[in-house]
């Protein structure tokens, strides 16, 4: 058998087509890769509750990286442990206070699978209610009692810059923040130093597979560190330029089985 590889998959815009399904072709190639001894895992910005269905659909039995590295666990092996690196609650509350002087639509705090909304918001509830979280609505200054895994600020495009500037000026040492892709003007905040690469490194050590035998796929700026860490950092054809520039290779888009086509070729899967 050829050397086994660790294959790390981002979900949205990468493994998932635009309709949020996995194509049959890519699913079949992933199954064959696993049968040949390669290891497949998911690394996503999503919480576990909204990535679980894909984990089961692919019949995985590997650890999963959620919240861009702020939470990692092994759904099928309790003894594996869980790694949770939340944002300090004091910092989170400082940010909530600061937001009062900015224009924003909402602030959402997630504590693993509990969701806290600053304001009631039907549209956002749709996105966050996948997997049935416990939802609490009300001023986060009062209702948030635990350090959040991630904090999201939903605003208008023209306010993004000033809010992000404030976050950088005041909290640069303790948080990292990035913007979501359009159409959502959302600033996502997690504890500093976290990324999907942090989770990938844990998996690399656990499976004893060196980075040069890791194949990671991604399309957005939350995939940059992971693609840099992996020996094969593969950008999707639909990825942003920044990701394509950092990647070793660019494959087809998420609508054209980019993941499956690349793996079939590299790993010689018929």
Active site residues: 10
**C-alpha–C-alpha distance, residues 134 and 115, integer Å:** 6
**C-alpha–C-alpha distance, residues 191 and 176, integer Å:** 6
- Secondary structure (3-state) at 117: strand
Residue that is written with structure tokens 């939350």 in the block: 222
- Range 165-195 burial, b when 16+ CB lie within 10 A, else e: eebeeebeeebbbbbbeeeebbbbbbbeebb
Helix (H) or strand (E) holding 207: helix 196-207
**Are the CB atoms for 222 and 211 separated by under 8 Å?**
no
From the list 190, 207, 174, the residue with the least C-alpha distance to 69 is 190
Residues comprising the chain, all counted: 270
Cβ atoms within 10 Å, residue 138: 13
Q: Which residues pair with 103 in a beta bridge?
A: none
| CA dihedral sign, ordered 48, 50, 51, 55 | positive
């Amino acid at each position: 058998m050829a050397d086994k590889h660790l294959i790390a998959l981002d979900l949205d815009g990468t493994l998932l087509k635009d309709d949020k399904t996995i194509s049959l072709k890519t699913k079949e190639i992933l199954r064959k890769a696993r049968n040949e001894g390669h290891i497949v895992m998911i690394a996503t910005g999503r919480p576990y509750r909204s990535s679980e269905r894909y984990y089961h659909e692919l019949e995985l039995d590997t650890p999963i990286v959620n919240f861009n590295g702020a939470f990692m666990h092994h759904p099928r092996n309790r003894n594996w442990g869980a790694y949770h690196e939340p944002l300090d609650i004091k910092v989170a509350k400082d940010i909530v206070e600061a937001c009062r002087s900015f224009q924003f639509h909402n602030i959402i705090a997630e504590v693993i699978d509990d969701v806290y909304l600053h304001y009631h918001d039907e549209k956002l509830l749709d996105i966050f209610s996948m997997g049935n979280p416990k939802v609490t609505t009300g001023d986060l200054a009062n209702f948030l009692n635990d350090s959040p895994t991630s904090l999201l600020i939903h605003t208008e495009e023209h306010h993004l810059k000033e809010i992000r500037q404030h976050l950088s000026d005041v909290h640069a040492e303790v948080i990292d923040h990035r913007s979501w892709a359009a159409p959502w003007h959302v600033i996502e905040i997690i504890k500093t130093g976290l990324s999907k690469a942090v989770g990938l490194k844990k998996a690399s050590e656990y499976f004893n597979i060196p980075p040069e035998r890791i194949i990671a796929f991604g399309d957005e700026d939350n995939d940059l560190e992971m693609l840099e860490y992996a020996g094969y950092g593969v950008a999707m054809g639909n990825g942003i330029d920044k990701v394509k520039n950092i990647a070793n290779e660019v494959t087809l888009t998420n609508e054209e089985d980019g993941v499956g086509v690349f793996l079939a070729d590299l790993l010689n899967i018929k």
